[in-house]
Structure 1
Amino acid sequence: MNEKELIEILSSKIKLVRSEFNYNQDEMANILGVSKKTIVQIEKERQLASWTIIVTFASLFRDSTIIQRELGEEDIVYFLQTVARKNIDLKDKQKWMNQSLWKVIDERNGYILQRHVITHYYRIINQLGQRLFSSFYKKSAVRHFNEMVKQDLED
């Protein structure tokens, strides 16, 4: 995914997220640091949000179920960093949108080590889906995963 694709995806979600949090257009404009006119233009799909607006929007509303569902990412800031720094290019966007974004690397004793298929970001979650650890570094994630499993076995 690159910046342009992310802008297109999230620009179309601003109105939904605004409604999700019960903000009016004036309040959303104030939160994002733009004019109400800009919000209206984006919501009516007359213009796309700028990269700066999208980064602000996704960061401030990272707890939005709409954004999380759309991106499949719980830590939106890391996702934004990866897109901005690496400009990941997906050839088949539709395929990406229809697949799970988290690949299970290992699963033991109720701990699940996963890798995000786009950002290559690693996380360890429990069976309830609660994140216990996260890192961009595989060695670190594997080490923590093994330590958690070992500690659990010893208890």
Structure 2
Amino acid sequence: MTKEEIIEIIFENLKLVRVEMGYTQEKLAEMIGVSKKTLVQIEKGRIMPGWTVVIAVCALFRESGVIQSSFGGDPLELIETITREGMVYRKEKTLGGKVWWKELSREAGYILQQNMISRHFRILDEDDYRIYSSLEEDEAKARFEELIQDSGNQ
């Protein structure tokens, strides 16, 4: 999934999220830092939200059913994967990928998974902490192999 696709998903679903969460246009506009007029224009399909608006919506409403089902879980994980591609991640506790994740491999205490909706990849440790994410399958598999080899050398 790309940045543009994420923007498009929020663009298409912003009104649904607002209604689901029980906010007025005025209150939501205030929360995400845009004017009510701008929010109305987005909801009517006249203008696209900017990346910062999309991040604000995803961060504030990450528990929304609409958001969760659109991104296959926590939208911030996908946003972080896109914006930090190729960088080392801090460990972050996950639920282990029981809903939107397909397990590709499990070895030496590590699990390689792919999100069934966004299609991005991640590696979890044996305690379900995310230690790596990537949009690129080859990079995720290479990192997985490195981790397995490193654990065998310890």
Q: Residue 5 of structure 1 aligns to which amino acid in structure 2? A: E
Q: Which residue does 1:133 correspond to in 2? A: 129
1:102 and 1:114 in contact (8 A); partners too: no
Q: Where does 1:57-68 land on structure 2 (aligned, <5 Å)?
A: 57-68=57-68
* CA distance in 1: counterparts of 2:35 and 2:125, whole angstroms: 40
Do structure 1's residue 116 and structure 2's residue 114 form an aligned pair? yes
Q: Alpha carbon RMSD of aligned pairs, Å?
A: 3.0
* CA distance in 2: counterparts of 1:30 and 1:45, whole angstroms: 19
2:25 and 2:40 in contact (8 A); partners too: yes
State the 1:71 CA deviation.
Answer: 0.7
- TM-score, normalising length: structure 2: 0.65
- The alignment partner of 2:120 has SS state of coil
Provide closer, same or farther for how the CA distance between residues 5 and 38 of structure 1 changes in structure 2, counting only shifts above 3 A: same
- The alignment partner of 2:34 has SS state of coil
Structure 2 unaligned residues grouped into runs of 5+? 86-98, 133-142
* CA distance in 2: counterparts of 1:64 and 1:114, whole angstroms: 26
Q: Where does 1:1-155 land on structure 2 (aligned, <5 Å)?
A: 1-74=1-74, 76-86=75-85, 102-105=101-104, 113=111, 115-117=113-115, 118-123=119-124, 132-136=128-132, 138=144, 139=147
State the 1:10 CA deviation.
Answer: 1.1
Q: For residues 97-153 of structure 1, what are the alpha-carbon distances to aligned partners after superposition, in whole Å with 9 as ceiling and x for unaligned? A: xxx95221457xxxxx4512433223479xxxxx9432216439xx7xxxxxxxxxx
